[in-house]
Amino acid sequence: MNAVLEQREAHVSNLTAGEPGSPVLELRDLHVSYGRTAALHGVNLRVMPGEVVALIGANGAGKSTTLRAISGLLKPTRGEIVFQGRSIGGLAADRVVAQGIAQSPEERHVWPAMTVDENLSMGAYLCKGKAEVQRRMGLVYERFPRLKERHRQLAGTLSGGEQQMLAIGRALMSEPRLLLLDEPSLGLSPRMAEEVFEFVREINAHGVTVMLVEQNVHNALSVATRAYVYETGRVVAEREASRLLEDPELLSAYLGG
């Protein structure tokens, strides 16, 4: 086995270590508001190790708000966010990253005036050793050869799909146990979107648990193991992804057409 693969195997066994049978993430009665306007009204959900969980629902239902609360960008007004048995609700975003959660946000947000290399390095800002940053970068480039070819290019000059890969790659630089992806296929061609979903499968196969928000429900359900359906700030259903895929009527009943 070559060195990179060995490192990856070691990394995966770290990721999958922990108590079997207990959720990686649990939201208990989560309430979140923007100023005085409530956006989440008591969300309960669980994510088990190794799952890809999709959050689906209409525009404005609260999917992004959920991810922002988990990643520490928004403080819950009530309820709990429990990650690997520890309550993390209200922790600052950098502390959440240090716990093992990384988010690739809805708006992509790569730093346009920085190179691909520099953007990736920023994703490992909590990691002190230069050699370790290089090792992680090597793994990301192995997974995204297209980024490797462009490693000195300014991020702002990348195509939409390449920027999306960079945003995901940067999130992976913190070697998260849980990866939060908000609309990773937004604005991409169907072919690029399929590529991104293939990456999600691959990342998951290497031991990373994923929470995925997607407008493209069919793509989301084809990657996900389970899905939670949102409606106006609440979870109204939870189903196996395959079950929803096989039952378009059920799906359209939840999603309103």
Ligand X SMILES: Nc1ncnc2c1ncn2[C@@H]1O[C@H](COP(=O)(O)OP(=O)(O)OP(=O)(O)O)[C@@H](O)[C@H]1O
Terminal C-alpha separation, the chain: 50
SS3 label, residue 55: strand
Stretch that binds Mg ion, among 58-66, 166-174, 201-209, 216-224 (CB under 5 A): 58-66
DSSP letter (8 states) at residue 157: G
Give me the least distance between CB of 216 and ligand X, in Å please: 11
**Residue 161 near which of ligand X, Mg ion, none (CB within 5-8 Å, type-dependent):** none
Of 10-18, 60-68, 185-193, 242-250: span binding Mg ion (CB under 5 A): 60-68
The residue among 64 and 204 lying less far from Mg ion, judged by its C-beta, is 64
Residues that bind ligand X (CB under 6 A): 34, 37, 39, 57, 59-65
What is the smallest separation between the CB atom of 7 and ligand X, expressed in angstroms?
Answer: 36
Nearest to 200 by CA among 225, 217, 181, 214: 181
Q: Report phi then psi at 43, rounded to 5.
A: -90, 130
The minimum distance between CB 55 and ligand X, in angstroms, equals 8
Tokens of 247: 């039952």
Nearer to ligand X, 43 or 140 (CB): 43
Q: Coil, strand or helix: which one is 236?
A: strand
Of 30, 64, 72, 102, the residue at the interface with Mg ion (CB under 5 A) is 64
94's tokens? 């950098």
Give the footprint of Mg ion on residues 75-134 (CB under 5 A).
none
Q: Please tell me whether residue 68 adopts helix, strand or coil conformation.
A: helix
Dist CA 46 CA 37 (whole Å): 25
Nearer to Mg ion, 118 or 231 (CB): 231
Binding residues for Mg ion, per CB under 5 A? 64
